[in-house]
Amino acid sequence: MVPIDVQLAADEHFERIHRAALVLTGNPWDADDLAQETFLVMAREAHRFAGRSQVYTWLYGIMLNLERRRRRRAGMSRAKLRVLWDHTVHRSEDSPAAEAAIEVDEWKHSLWSLVATLPDGQRQALVLRFSEQLSYEEVAQALECPLGTVKSRIFHGLAALREMTTLRKGDVRHVPDHPYEDLNHAI
Amino acid sequence: MPSDPSQPHATERLQDDFDLPDNLAALSEQLAADAARLAERYPALHGLHAKLPAAQTQTLRQRVWRWSARAASLAAIVAGAWWTAGQFEVGGDRQAQSSARSTASQGVHDASQATLPSPRADQRQFVSADVPTSGRSSSRDRPANHSQAVSAGPEDLNPPPLRRGSEVELLNAQLQAYQSVIEAMQEELARREAQQAKTEEQLELLRRQVADLEQRIERQER
């Protein structure tokens, strides 16, 4: 076991964990919670850090596990709500931030909102590689999987993303320039 | 390892060990650019958040509530055991029996109450009111011989499960332990809440400073 200076680790890595959380969740409030939760887990489980990887790859691993659990929980509660109320608002089903009214517009219009619809493995690999710009070895350490798997996930993730962007270009939607534009139309 | 983890890294790193087709490489660059823009727009408020672990306070509150509920249900079990002992006592102290019964009913009431309050309710009041401590006082009134007691009891057609004295003592000890854990958690919660209030004050001060600065900038622009 390798001792970790919790305060130092938080000072050094909070921003990068928060950034990855922001990209994954799509809103700063969830990102704040997720990043904080990651460091709480780190503080609690610091004695388990074996030192086989860098502290930040270990932290990414914790954060991704927490995020996956959150998504699952959100999905379950959504499913329960559907049973109670059949009448639901139509929204993008797989987006983790779809439930929150306080979504970030930039995120919705960025490629990351499409990444959010990919399977867990691809999504996480893409975030670590292209948002956090970790090397493939580091991504493999954080995700605890072989290097080849990481490369394959990234390739297939990008390919799926390309397909989605092609579809999105074909499906031209009107995006209001101003939040009140739709309201004016309605009136 | 990158020198500054908070800064976006050089885009050349994206191409290091894995040759992506051109169209996918362009996509990956766009992903990196989007992530950098998002991070710039919504920076992490590390200073404030490190001092204000709201999630931790919330978790602690939930834990206090959970432990309170457990303690209350345990109290009900202990009280139930004493009540059972009192029921089957032969020629025992009437006063002790009635006290055991009242403890039992209090314990059952507490157990039913334990599921009612929300985690946000005032736990201090909840715990102090719900954990009876009088169960141990009637230990001298326990039946010496359980088999004799059971055979003499009027409800022996369908008797409730009888607990041995040692088991009751163990449960009592557990209850005491739970109580001390709850007290410690309450103290910690109070400390954290005080800390949170202090940080909120600091935040308010900062907000005022920002508003003040904005006003100054406006004035200067005019």
Q: Which of A10-24, B55-69, B183-197 has the least mean pLDDT? A: B55-69
- Residue at token pair 């854990």: B181
B160 within 8 A of B154, measured Cβ to Cβ: no
pLDDT number for residue A54: 87
B20-45 residue pLDDT tens: 777 788 888 888 888 888 888 877 76
A55-91 residue pLDDT tens: 899 999 999 999 998 888 876 666 665 555 544 444 4
The C-alpha angle A130, A136, A138, rounded to 5 degrees, equals 95
pLDDT number for residue A84: 54
Q: Which band of pLDDT confidence, cut at 50, 70 and 90, is reported for residue B112? A: very low
A11-53 residue pLDDT tens: 888 889 999 999 998 888 888 888 888 988 888 888 888 888 8
- The candidate with the shortest Cα–Cα distance to A128, out of A108, A146, A116, A143, is A143
Average pLDDT on A109-130 reads 91
- Contact across the interface for A107 and B38, Cβ inside 8 Å: yes
Burial of residue A173 (CB within 10 Å: 0-12, 13-18, 19+) is exposed
Average pLDDT on A6-13 reads 82
- Contact across the interface for B41 and A106, Cβ inside 8 Å: yes
Q: Which band of pLDDT confidence, cut at 50, 70 and 90, is reported for residue B86? A: low
Residues of B in contact with A158 (CB under 8 A): 20, 24, 27-28
- A44–chain B Cβ distance below 8 A for any pair: no
Residue type, B10: A
pLDDT number for residue A36: 87
What percentage of chain B has pLDDT greater than the value 90?
0
Q: Which band of pLDDT confidence, cut at 50, 70 and 90, is reported for residue A183? A: very low
- Contact across the interface for A110 and B18, Cβ inside 8 Å: no
- Contact across the interface for B32 and A36, Cβ inside 8 Å: no
d(CA B45, CA B165): 57
